[in-house]
């Protein structure tokens, strides 16, 4: 029986710890000492904020023992900072990452995942331009995967995510994705009520993500200081490596309201602009109107500007009433109203239970599926949510009505030649002019898919 096709539980049951240690020692990788039989070992690839958050939740899961045994990041300074912070919090017994299992550079993902055995876990939280490559390698190695969003920066990359999900099914591997609101009990409860007809037929949906911009990092002395490194450090602002600031934030809204609708959109039109000077290649204000197959619409609103009204909310309107899927940055506070005036007098239902952290729940469910060998593959939905978000970007950037089929079938790659071939000598696809400004899409000036 192939070790790639054998589940981790079956592998340990049939071979034992001694055989595991022998098999691992034969590999040309730093050795990870055998642990208790039900320990799941983890490699973290991408040591920024999202990676640190995901690994903390993975190490806090109550499903069984977990341990971080390898780490990788493009940047050495971020790798060291993350390892130090995690060790301070969990101790070196849980953060068992000596120098020979801590890697930096573009090949760090291979080196870190090579420290694992089939049935262990790779957490992938780098800039999304690298995600398809890293997911493919993890699945090929026989590893379960948790990947953060966004999941790719263009359509070819998103198709690679869907293909990797299919490969994971063939190998009985589990795939989790960072669309954590799907695991929020409050949202699950209100969406079940919507699907059961409590607000009637859905006729309109709205999503809002309006806040200040994220940090834009300069070029610190003592660090790699070329243009490529600068753009990767600030990946939110460069579509070729980060997808788009809007996609990074609003993919949650798009995924949640499409879940409430029960389908993905068939077309979109949109617009965007820059009201303040912002770095990078994107806009700082966004609007998309999606259309579903039955003719209903979702309007998606995004703004990333300081000093403005902030809102992070999702709403659904039906023929009999309306629903709140989320109305704050802190908790969902889901509710249902009769009619569309969302007043206390019209309130008919509110989720009143405690709202456990969906970030923790997504890790708990992922690791429980690994231990219990139950179906858990969120890769297909990750790809669909990514396509829906790319549909918005294509509509805004082109100034045209764009269909789902156009985006799903697009062959436009934002890093020509393939991210597999990137080195520190590579030239980024976009470069600043003499004033330091980067080119942005001009709607109506050609097709942008």
Q: Is residue 440 part of a domain?
A: no
The token pair that represents 31 in the structure block: 């050795």
The token pair that represents 317 in the structure block: 């309107």
More confident position, 362 or 212: 362
Give the model's pLDDT for residue 21.
Answer: 35
Which range (27-41, 158-172, 222-236, 342-356) has the least confidence?
27-41
Distance of alpha carbon 94 from alpha carbon 65, whole angstroms: 9
Same-domain status, 213 and 145: no
Q: Percentage of residues in the chain with pLDDT exceeding 90?
A: 79
Which range (73-82, 233-242, 267-276, 439-448) has the least confidence?
439-448
Same-domain status, 82 and 58: yes
Q: Is residue 292 part of a domain?
A: yes
Section 360-388 average pLDDT: 98
Same-domain status, 171 and 203: no
288 bridge partner residues:
270, 300
The token pair that represents 5 in the structure block: 């096709």
CB atoms within 10 A of CB 339: 14
Same-domain status, 50 and 157: yes
Q: Percentage of residues in the chain with pLDDT exceeding 70?
A: 89
Same-domain status, 340 and 366: no
- Contact indicator for 198, 336 with CB cutoff of 8 Å: yes
Q: Is residue 437 part of a domain?
A: no
Number of domains comprising the chain: 2
The token pair that represents 382 in the structure block: 């990750």
- Contact indicator for 243, 152 with CB cutoff of 8 Å: yes
Q: Is residue 447 part of a domain?
A: no
Is 148 a residue whose pLDDT tops 90?
A: yes
- Contact indicator for 136, 45 with CB cutoff of 8 Å: no
Same-domain status, 312 and 397: yes
Give the model's pLDDT for residue 17.
Answer: 32
| Pick from 405, 410, 408, 394: nearest CA to 443 | 394
> Using one digit for the tens of pLDDT, what is the confidence trace for 62-121?
999 999 999 999 999 999 999 999 999 999 999 999 999 999 999 999 999 999 999 999
Q: Is residue 95 part of a domain?
A: yes
Q: Is residue 24 part of a domain?
A: yes
Give the model's pLDDT for residue 23.
Answer: 34
Distance of alpha carbon 10 from alpha carbon 373, whole angstroms: 10
Enclosing domain of residue 174? 8-181+362-377
CA distances from residue 15 to 6, 32, 139, 239, 375 in whole angstroms, order as listed: 11, 17, 22, 46, 24
Distance of alpha carbon 48 from alpha carbon 27, whole angstroms: 29
Question: Residue written as tokens 């709202």?
Answer: 355
Q: Is residue 335 part of a domain?
A: yes
- Contact indicator for 421, 133 with CB cutoff of 8 Å: no
Same-domain status, 86 and 228: no
Section 227-252 average pLDDT: 94
Distance of alpha carbon 419 from alpha carbon 127, whole angstroms: 12
Q: What is the CATH number of the domain that holds 143?
A: 3.40.50.720
> Using one digit for the tens of pLDDT, what is the confidence trace for 409-448?
999 999 988 899 999 999 999 999 998 889 989 999 877 7
| Pick from 34, 31, 44, 30: nearest CA to 86 | 44
Give the model's pLDDT for residue 13.
Answer: 32
Is 52 a residue whose pLDDT tops 50?
A: yes
Same-domain status, 395 and 258: yes
Give the model's pLDDT for residue 276.
Answer: 65
Q: Is residue 158 part of a domain?
A: yes
Q: What is the CATH number of the domain that holds 213?
A: 3.30.360.10
> Using one digit for the tens of pLDDT, what is the confidence trace for 7-20?
333 323 333 333 33
Is 318 a residue whose pLDDT tops 70?
A: yes
204 bridge partner residues:
297, 317
Same-domain status, 372 and 402: no
Same-domain status, 159 and 201: no
Is 243 a residue whose pLDDT tops 70?
A: yes
Three-state secondary structure string covering the chain: CCCCCCCHHHHHHHHHHHHHHHHHHCCCCCCCCCCCCCCEEEEEECCCHHHHHHHHHHHHCCCCCEEEEEEEECCHHHHHHHHHHHHHHHCCCCECCCHHHEEECCCHHHHHHCCCCCCCEEEECCCHHHHHHHHHHHHHCCCEEEECCCCCCCHHHHHHHHHHHHHHHHCCCCEEECCHHHHCHHHHHHHHHHHCCCCCCEEEEEEEEEECCCCCCCCCCCCCCCHHHHHHHCHHHCHHHHCCHHHHHHHHHHHHHHHHHCCCCCEEEEEEECCCCCCCCCCCEEEEEEECCCCCEEEEEEEECCCCCCEEEEEEEECCEEEEEEECCCCCCCEEEECCCCCHHHEEEECCCCCCCHHHHHHHHHHHHHHHCCCCECHHHHHHHHHHHHHHHHHHHHCCCEEHHHHHHCCCCCCCCCHHHCCCCCCCCCCCCCCCCCCCCCCCCCCCC
Same-domain status, 256 and 399: yes
> Using one digit for the tens of pLDDT, what is the confidence trace for 182-210?
999 999 999 999 999 999 999 999 999 99
Same-domain status, 55 and 188: no
């Amino acid at each position: 029986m192939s070790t790639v096709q054998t589940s981790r539980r079956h592998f340990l049951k049939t071979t034992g710890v001694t055989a595991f240690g022998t098999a691992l020692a034969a590999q040309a990788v730093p050795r990870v000492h055998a642990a208790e039989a039900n320990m799941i070992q983890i490699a973290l690839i991408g040591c920024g904020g999202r990676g640190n958050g995901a690994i903390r939740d993975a190490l806090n899961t109550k499903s069984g023992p977990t341990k971080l045994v390898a780490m990788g990041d493009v940047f050495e300074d971020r790798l060291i900072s993350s390892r130090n912070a995690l060790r301070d919090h969990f101790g070196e017994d849980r953060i068992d990452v000596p120098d020979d299992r801590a890697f930096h550079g573009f090949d760090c993902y291979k080196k870190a995942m090579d420290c694992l055995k089939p049935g262990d876990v790779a957490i992938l939280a780098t800039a999304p331009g690298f995600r398809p490559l890293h997911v493919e390698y993890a699945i090929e190695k026989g590893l379960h995967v948790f990947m953060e969003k966004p999941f790719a920066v263009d359509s070819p990359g998103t198709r690679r995510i869907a293909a990797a999900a299919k490969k994971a099914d063939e190998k009985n591997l589990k795939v989790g994705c960072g669309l954590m609101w799907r695991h929020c009990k409050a949202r699950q409860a209100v969406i079940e009520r919507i699907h059961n007809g409590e607000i009637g037929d859905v006729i309109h949906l709205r999503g809002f993500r309006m806040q200040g911009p994220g940090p834009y990092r300069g070029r610190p002395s003592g660090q790699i200081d070329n243009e490529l490194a600068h753009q990767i450090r600030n990946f939110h602002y460069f579509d070729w490596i980060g997808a788009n600031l809007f996609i990074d934030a609003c993919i949650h809204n798009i995924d949640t309201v499409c879940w409430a609708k029960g389908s993905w959109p068939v077309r979109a039109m949109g617009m965007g602009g820059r009201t303040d000077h912002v770095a990078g290649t994107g806009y700082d204000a966004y609007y998309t109107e999606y259309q579903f197959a039955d003719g209903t619409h979702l309007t998606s609103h995004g703004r990333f500007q300081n000093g403005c009204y902030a809102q992070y909310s999702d709403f659904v309107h039906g023929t009999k009433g309306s629903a709140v899927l989320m109305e704050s940055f802190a908790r969902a506070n889901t509710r249902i109203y009769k009619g569309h005036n969302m007043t206390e007098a019209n309130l008919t239902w509110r989720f009143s239970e405690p709202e456990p952290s969906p970030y923790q729940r997504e890790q708990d469910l992922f690791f429980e599926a690994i231990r219990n060998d139950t179906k858990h593959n969120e890769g297909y939905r990750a790809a669909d949510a990514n396509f829906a978000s790319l549909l918005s970007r294509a509509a805004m950037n082109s100034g045209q009505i764009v269909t789902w089929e156009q985006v799903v079938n697009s062959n436009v790659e934002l890093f020509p030649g393939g991210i597999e071939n990137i080195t520190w000598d590579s030239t980024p696809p976009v470069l600043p002019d003499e004033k330091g400004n980067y080119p942005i899409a001009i709607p109506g000036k050609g097709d942008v898919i």
